[in-house]
Amino acid sequence: MHALELARLQFALTAGAHFLFVALTLGLATLVAVIQTRATLSGNPVHARMTRYWGQLYIVNYAMGIATGLVMEFQFGLSWSGLTTFAGNVFGAALAIETLVAFFVESTFLGLWIFGWNRLNRWAHLALIWIVTLTAYASAFWIMIANGFLQNPVGHRVTSGVLELVDFGALVANPAALTAFAHVMCGSMIVGAYFMAGVSAYHLRRRTAEQDFFRKSLRIGLGVALPATVLTAVFGGMGFETMQPSKIAAWAGDPGLLAEAQADMAAIHGPGDYLPVQSWVQTSGRTMMALFVLMFLVSLVSFVLMWSRRAATRLRVWHWLLTAMIPVPFAAMIAGWLFRELGRQPWAVYGLLKTSDAVSHATTVQMRISLGVFTGLFGVLIAVNYWLLARQARRGPDAVALGAAETPERLPAPAPTF
């Protein structure tokens, strides 16, 4: 492969891997906030323990997500200098807000939430997790605003060969970004819900002592999974209204639409191939939709079964299925992301900057070395995250350190007196 293909592959691997961490973080943060709200209002000790257990899993994934995000940003600046030079003044504004506001606020309040157990008023502590959740949404929002600009560039003008932001309101109100943001948020809720349901089903199948704990967790996960799946499909359908004509043509596979899209782009930009690879667009889109159908059916059946106490505690085949379903939403999210991004090709900024002009000037050897380093690093981070999550999930609520009551330090015995 040439340097361009290697750079695209590197970005796909790093951004895709980071996206998996983000999806679980968004979903789990919301579920933890809801559970802690219920625990605060009711004073139920089971829900308080649930908050600590699922909160610790959330923290593990969040920490590893930060690491992958930093590495991804480094490779983005290293390999795509043409994009940042041409369009950085516009979509860079959204990325800057995400970094300076959402990211730092989220990290700060998460730290207060982690260390505020048994120290803060319960209402203040509850407010912290909701601030963390809302700033996580804000972070995702600004990322999708930046991505939406690449899909549908608005609010700009060309000055001296580079883009300049002239209408911030148009950038924020970009329909290609807003619909995608809602779609991603609902998809992240599916990821978090199936993760919670799958881990709970694992413990119910093993007949652990915490049956009531995990039965409640199972119901919360499945209670969220079904409506989140439906809403994800609704916003995904709305997203087709903002798609580029070339992506719609490639998805439909209609020769007439393909020829029309090619002719329109050639009339504007001159001779060239302006169509995405049809097989990639169709394969990723069909995979996403097939996995959606699977998740919808499992969610629908599970929503009915979860009301049966006997099924929730004794139906081992169902427990096996729910545990096996944990990776399915992740796969669906990646397939959807590929469908969105591959359909934009050959443009980095649709209609303005080709991907071949966005890549940095690097040799094939340099890109191979870079790809090997980043792939190896991300592979290690993913493996460590999986190991930590699986280890903590298997150990159960009794092994949770988050929010554990502090024990006073043992004082030295007084010296004997004579």
What is the residue-level pLDDT of the chain in tens, covering all 418 positions? 688 889 888 888 888 888 888 999 999 999 999 999 999 998 888 999 999 999 999 999 998 888 888 777 777 777 888 888 898 888 888 888 887 777 788 888 999 999 988 888 899 999 999 999 999 999 999 999 999 999 999 989 988 889 999 999 999 999 999 999 999 999 999 999 999 999 999 998 887 777 889 999 999 999 999 999 999 999 999 998 889 999 999 999 888 999 999 999 999 888 888 999 999 999 999 999 999 999 999 999 998 888 777 766 677 888 999 999 999 999 999 999 999 999 899 999 998 999 999 888 888 898 889 888 888 888 888 888 889 899 988 888 887 888 776 544 443 454 444 3
User: What confidence score (pLDDT) does residue 312 get?
Assistant: 66
User: What confidence score (pLDDT) does residue 416 get?
Assistant: 46
Instruction: Calculate Rg over the CA atoms of the chain.
Output: 24
User: What confidence score (pLDDT) does residue 282 get?
Assistant: 94
Q: How far apart are CA 224 and CA 212, in angstroms?
A: 19
Half-sphere exposure of 276 (CA within 13 A, CB side): 30
Find out whether 344 and 247 touch, Cβ atoms under 8 Å: yes
Query: Tokens 């991603």, residue?
Result: 184
User: What confidence score (pLDDT) does residue 238 get?
Assistant: 92
User: What confidence score (pLDDT) does residue 399 get?
Assistant: 77
Please return the burial class of 396, using the count of CB atoms within 10 Å of its CB with bins 0-12, 13-18 and 19+: middle
* Three-state DSSP class for residue 162: strand
User: What confidence score (pLDDT) does residue 75 get?
Assistant: 78
Q: How far apart are CA 151 and CA 170, in angstroms?
A: 14
Query: Tokens 């649709």, residue?
Result: 350
CA-CA distances (angstroms) from residue 104 to 68, 156, 209? 16, 28, 39
Find out whether 348 and 83 touch, Cβ atoms under 8 Å: yes
- Phi/psi zone of residue 331: left (φ > 0), alpha (ψ -120 to 50 degrees), beta? alpha
User: What confidence score (pLDDT) does residue 169 get?
Assistant: 92
CA-CA distances (angstroms) from residue 162 to 43, 83, 245, 354? 57, 10, 25, 14
Query: Tokens 């308080």, residue?
Result: 48
User: What confidence score (pLDDT) does residue 67 get?
Assistant: 80
Q: ∠ at Cα 8 (280, 366), nearest 5°? A: 145
Find out whether 23 and 331 touch, Cβ atoms under 8 Å: no
CA-CA distances (angstroms) from residue 132 to 35, 98, 120, 216? 14, 14, 16, 24
Q: pTM of this prediction? A: 0.90
Q: How far apart are CA 325 and CA 341, in angstroms?
A: 25
DSSP H helices in 120-160: 122-151
User: What confidence score (pLDDT) does residue 410 get?
Assistant: 40
CB within 8 Å of 145: residues ≥ 6 apart: 91, 94, 171, 172, 174, 177, 181
Tell which residue, 191, 258, 160, 193, has the closest CA to residue 22.
191
